[in-house]
Amino acid sequence: MRYLSHLFEQNRAWAADVTRQDPDFFQRLSRQQAPQYLWIGCADSRVPANQITGLLPGEMFVHRNVANVVAHTDLNCLSTIHFAVEVLKVSHIIVCGHYGCGGVLAALRDVRLGLIDNWLRHVQDVRWHYRELLSGLETEGQRHDLLCELNVISQVINVSQTTVVREAWSRGQALAIHGWVYGLQDGLLRDLDMCVTAESELLAREAAALARAGQRTWGSA
């Protein structure tokens, strides 16, 4: 192999290792996937969905983009949600942000980077929507942490309001939408208490999550 041969070597070693532990693993997986979870996370290389949750190939359907945004006009994300809910019939959709997110920081600072500014406009909409909460904080670090959480809360609301999820709930399909944040500094996931299982729960869940937003890190970080 001429290019990136070390990655192919590592791949062969990985496949051999998996096969040694479970000889039928790849044959079994090649016939079908039946993941229970859809992960919507940041594209950041430090937040690999399967690794940080200890899940194997086949156990998590994954969509990642810069700053884990769910935009109502993003056919890529909407198609992923559609396939996960209607074909794979996942039981859980996890929106996972992370502290230290560069996309969220760029949105917070209003820096001009080019094309991506248009994508991060969605996070700036979150900043604008919750400007009073954010303005009450003393340091940029606190505002950054809080905006990472508020962005997750907002994207959970967006997932919950997609036609796909609303239709799933209206026909009685069990589906929970979760909001999590991952800590780059300790490798741990935090649950933002933003778990929505019906559209009617949205307002109460948002209020409860907002009441606790920021408290996870202000004491420690």
77 in catalytic set: no
Q: Assess contact for 107 and 123: CB atoms under 8 A.
A: yes
Q: Where are the alpha helices (DSSP H) in the chain?
A: 5-21, 25-31, 49-53, 75-82, 102-109, 116-129, 131-135, 140-160, 163-170, 202-212, 215-218
Q: Which is nearer to Co ion, 58 or 102 (CB)?
A: 102
Q: Which of residues 15-44 bind Co ion (CB under 5 A)?
A: 42, 44
Q: Assess contact for 95 and 181: CB atoms under 8 A.
A: no
Q: Which is nearer to Co ion, 101 or 195 (CB)?
A: 101
31 in catalytic set: no
Q: How many positions of this chain bind Co ion (CB under 5 A)?
A: 3
Residue 126 near Co ion by CB under 5 A: no
Q: Which of residues 87-116 bind Co ion (CB under 5 A)?
A: 101
Kindly state the smallest distance separating residue 57's Cβ from Co ion, in Å.
23
The CA distance from 173 to 42, in Å, is 27
Q: Assess contact for 164 and 82: CB atoms under 8 A.
A: yes
44 in catalytic set: yes
Q: Which is nearer to Co ion, 35 or 97 (CB)?
A: 97
Q: Assess contact for 50 and 62: CB atoms under 8 A.
A: yes
Active-site residue (options: 63, 92, 98, 127): 98
Query: Where do contacts with Co ion occur on this chain (CB under 5 A)?
Result: 42, 44, 101
Catalytic residues: 42, 44, 46, 98, 101
